[in-house]
Structure 1
Amino acid sequence: MGDLSASSSWSRSVFGELAVPLAKLIPECIGRAHERARDGHRGVGTQTLEAYGHGLHASQYEELAAGLADLPGVTAVRLQARTVMVVAGQVLYPIRYAKRDVPVTVARLRRAVGLRADLIRRHGPEPMQGELDLGLEGLQEQEFHKDLGQLDPDVGLVLLAYACAMGSGVMRLEWGDAELRRGDRHLLWHHHEPLALPDARRSA
């Protein structure tokens, strides 16, 4: 999974000196979110995994907000009733892309529309291949989710993509930037790299 003490040229170029502490803190936050969701499921005692899934979705934001709050220059923004952290001019946005250990390159969004898709299209990297927009940039801007008006248009986006299941814990966690073409759910990664998972977080 890589060495926590080492950061790539990409992460250093994005986060500077914060790359190393972020590479340590983010896996710890996602691991705690899994543990909270797992414990919540056990407390409810249902046969389905609804409690785990809903708990993980909520706790991933809460753990990142708490775990990253003391970093220099960090700010918090509320998007669709969730607190999202902005570090070094980058929105850190968690996405559980799989329930089994598969590469992040297979990641797809559940929906091609909505806040998450709009966030990636508005704040993700410039498309590798230009799209034909017929000069409708202004119209496209109006179509973005209203909550994105709280973000500076120049803010970037770093996705925290992870594979996680109740019984297996966090199996894979990577960060990077990806584009999302209009009408598509498949993420096209420009950069992605693994983050080391503390052994304690691997256990269910």
Structure 2
Amino acid sequence: MPVSPFQAAIDVLDRADALLTLDSGSGSVLDADLRRQALVMGVAGLDTWMHWKIHRVPLDALSQNLAEIAVPFANLVEMGERSVEARKQGVRDRPMVRARNALHAQLLRITFQSARDWQRGFNLLGVRSGFTAVGAAMVPSEAKADIESRLNQLSHRRNQVVHEGDLMRQAKPRAIRHNDLEAAKVADDLLWIRRFLTAVDSMV
């Protein structure tokens, strides 16, 4: 059987958990960076599930939002040229595969981490009241507002690491300082992401 979106996302989360176990607790910069990398990997699990799930949507059952995803004109020209060449060569043409690949290339430009990102993902999947349904499916259940807040916090914290090296912002820095990130907090975040994705996968 093909690997499911949930299996792909859990693989990413398992690797994040494994990174966290390497934290020796010594308080070193290396330990802190392992925690940072574990958090980034965990948030990548959110992206992974949504990308894989959207990629699996049958092309004859696209939601309105997904059907309106823009594809560069150059991609359309290339698909047409390859179809013509295939006919000339007497080769069986598979234009739908190329169409899916073009869609996938565009989806990889979209992140699915914050609450706003996930709402867009739900729209692309044609899912209504996604956060409400997921909140009811989570164990224990969570309110929509709490889920959105947690996703936004995770996305913001991930961006601090990825885009700013987790350097502390200072008006007039006299020394390099890093934002704190406790192992217990990362472990809790990774567990929450696992709970969230388990609920999402059960209802989408």
Instruction: Choose 1 or 2 for highest CA Rg.
Output: 2
TM over 0.5: no
More helix as a share of residues: 2
Give the structure-1-normalised TM-score.
0.31
More strand as a share of residues: 1
Give the structure-2-normalised TM-score.
0.31
